[in-house]
Amino acid sequence: MKKTYTHLSVEERAVIQVRLEQGASVRAIARTLARSPATVSRELARNGWRNPARRPRRRGRPPLAGGYRATSAQKRARRLAATPRRPRKLTSDPWLWGRVVELLSTGHSPEQVSALLVRMHSEHARVSHETIYTALYALPRGALRRELIGLLRQRRTRRRPRSQGADRRGRIPNMTSIHLRPPEVDERVIPGHWEGDLIKGARNASAVGTLVERTSLFVSLVKVDNASAQAAVAGFSGVLNRIDAQRRLSLTYDQGKEMAQHEQLSRNTGMTVYFADPHSPWQRGINENTNGLLRQYLPKGADLSVFSQNELDDIAWRLNTRIRKSLGWKCPAELFIPDDFDMKAHYEKIVAPRP
């Protein structure tokens, strides 16, 4: 049975005072409260109580309840609970707090900020992501708190469960199942195998294609005129053909109707298209996770048709230059285009130098 500990309540402290006035022992009080004798003993000691039997006798009336007062003990406990034992790290270091805010404003998550500070500075800059979250949500309510929490990707304090709707899509002809995909794709050792999807805008009236390379997590975004099969083939073909042929080997997609002309896409790009099972987002988990990150820049209530291909390329570059825990705190660009990207030089451009 799991043991849990709760602090003494004001009612329990009142019982302690009354039982002391009645001359009860510490063990008897503990039995009354169904508490450990050590809990009662520590409560009395921290509030200045001394056992009268162990004190020398003096003239006059003995102190009531041995010197213990429930109201004073409760006030002391409430005061200590509101006062941290040590100053918060970010509160006591303005430079570190400013650096955290700078990196959050560039789209990094608190966990990525934590790793990036250690990587680019020293152990002096080490701060856990939980400390960052605590500092943000400990801010008093107001415009500053809303502004800083707005830098977080989800911008909310609670996660919402995702519901799964009914699948109203028809079957796509000549599909190649994900279960026929070569083993090396699952092992994520050879680069060039991609996952793809469409993310929708307001009222599903606009869409943007998303592509993520399974090994490096490198992201490419595709402007599509609409969610039709013809528009999807044209958009995906154009973006994929910008990539070297040896780095575009296969594409894993869900069974969305926009990929009905997958055979034409294969002819345009030379890639084999594999289809995941219905209602199995974990089979394309990398792409699903990337879509969640992209919602920071392409929110569900927005009209996605206003984004040009150049603007989508800029958004993809932000993700590609953001360090990832699963990559050993490297960024996708370091792995996908190592000869063309310098992480340290990029970081020094986006963050002000230390005074």
DSSP letters spanning 202-223: GGG--EEEEEEETTT--EEEEE
Nearest to 232 by CA among 278, 187, 200, 192: 200
- In sequence order, which residues have a C-beta less than 8 Å from that of residue 256 and are 6 or more positions away? 169, 197, 198
- In sequence order, which residues have a C-beta less than 8 Å from that of residue 104 and are 6 or more positions away? 110, 113, 132, 148, 151, 152
Chain-centroid distance of CA 339 in Å reads: 31
Q: In a 3-state reduction of DSSP, which class is residue 80?
A: helix
* Single residue among 82, 113, 138 that ends a domain in this structure: 82
pLDDT of residue 310: 95
Same domain, 304 and 182: yes
Same domain, 193 and 272: yes
Same domain, 255 and 275: yes
Residue pair 238/204 in contact (Cβ under 8 Å)? The answer is no
Same domain, 225 and 113: no
Same domain, 220 and 119: no
Nearest to 208 by CA among 300, 280, 285, 272: 300
Q: How confident is the prediction along the chain (355 residues), in pLDDT tens digits per residue?
A: 455 678 888 889 988 988 888 888 889 999 999 899 999 988 988 888 777 666 555 555 554 445 788 888 888 888 877 666 666 677 667 888 888 888 888 888 888 888 888 887 777 778 888 888 877 777 777 777 777 778 887 666 543 444 444 444 557 899 999 999 998 898 898 999 999 999 999 888 899 999 999 999 999 999 999 889 999 999 999 999 999 999 999 999 999 999 999 999 999 999 999 999 988 899 999 999 999 999 999 998 899 999 999 999 999 999 999 999 999 999 999 999 988 888 888 887 777 666 5
Same domain, 67 and 133: no
* Residue 330 within any structural domain of the chain: no
pLDDT of residue 119: 83
* Residue 186 within any structural domain of the chain: yes
* Residue 3 within any structural domain of the chain: no
Same domain, 210 and 103: no
pLDDT of residue 164: 46
* Residue 311 within any structural domain of the chain: yes
* Residue 120 within any structural domain of the chain: yes
Q: In a 3-state reduction of DSSP, which class is residue 18?
A: helix
Same domain, 17 and 114: no
Same domain, 207 and 270: yes
Number of folded domains that form the chain: 3
* Residue 341 within any structural domain of the chain: no
Per the document, the length of the chain is: 355
Same domain, 183 and 316: yes
What one-letter code names the amino acid at 335? Answer: L
Per-residue DSSP letter, 329: S
- In sequence order, which residues have a C-beta less than 8 Å from that of residue 51 and are 6 or more positions away? 66
Same domain, 143 and 193: no
* Single residue among 27, 50, 82 that ends a domain in this structure: 82
pLDDT of residue 242: 94
Tell me which residue range forms the domain holding 279: 178-320
Same domain, 300 and 193: yes
